[in-house]
Amino acid sequence: MKIKAAVSVLAFLLTLGGPAMAVNQNALLNANANAAFLQCGTKHPSAKEAQRLERDFRKKRAALIASRNAKKPDGRPGNGNGGGGDGGGDDGGGDTGGPTLPGNGTISIDVWFHVIKSGADGADATNQINAQMAVLIDSFAGTPYTFNLVSITESDNASWYTAGPDTDAEREMKAELRKGGAGTLNIYSSSPGGGLLGWATFPGWYADAPFDDGVVILNETMPGGIASPYNLGDTLVHEVGHWLGLYHTFQGGCSGSGDFVADTPAERSPAYGCPVGRDSCKGKARGLDPITNFMDYTDDSCMFEFSEGQVVRAWEQSDTFRSLSAP
């Protein structure tokens, strides 16, 4: 399934016209000839931890489906929907005996967009929100999801403006601004520094840390920003993919269960630029690297799709942990 637009959400080393930003050396990954990159700020589990989380998720998913089926007058299960898969590994799998994937655009997600600024810095982001929302909606066309902008807030706070992940400033910002429940998407645009383009929280984290839930993006990644080649608005698309439950396409490398999606070929490491024909797990008969997938690290202009398996997994995750399902 091809979906228009592109994503990237690594972390990009940029001064953005201001003082040089400190670099998190532990996050530094590979670099191409034109720029240095840092990893996406979204925390991903180890392969072992991912397997444990997947088992827990499947148990919770099965219990939810059983509960729903028990409430049906005739007690019969739904139509079932597979496709969860294992991303080239050995485990995974979609729903069995569960509900059918909702139709395109039938799940409307309310969005609160929080613009964080420091004086004049970051103030232009407000004017870019409509274009950013258009990219987000267009990128998820052909999936069950669409997005409804409920409100925009603006906060002038120097500490919040440069807040990084897992900092006191981030926690304070979200505690003050976050709106809605597990199914409400809160987006924060700021300038976190350290080369980060953005980060997000996974659906399964919400129960334990509801006020931490949401997506943070570098404001200059929005359409018209200066974070080229990541300024087409696609960092948000990638981070919302995480928020709905998707891992990076290179999760787990060439072995194991990868991203738990059967139709995304295994990938040894992140792809940069737009390396057509890249096959980092060559010889394993898993196909060319999914460089055009929103959950890789290639340029915004290179990426334009989620796979069908990713759409199923996103719905399974978000339905289970965020109660996001069609009316």
Q: Which residues are catalytic?
A: 239
**148-161 burial code (b ≥16 CB/10 A, e <16):** ebeeeeebebeebb
Rg (CA), the chain: 19
Integer Cα distance of 201 and 223 in angstroms: 23
The strand pair at 107-117 and 215-218 is best described as: unpaired
Integer Cα distance of 242 and 189 in angstroms: 17
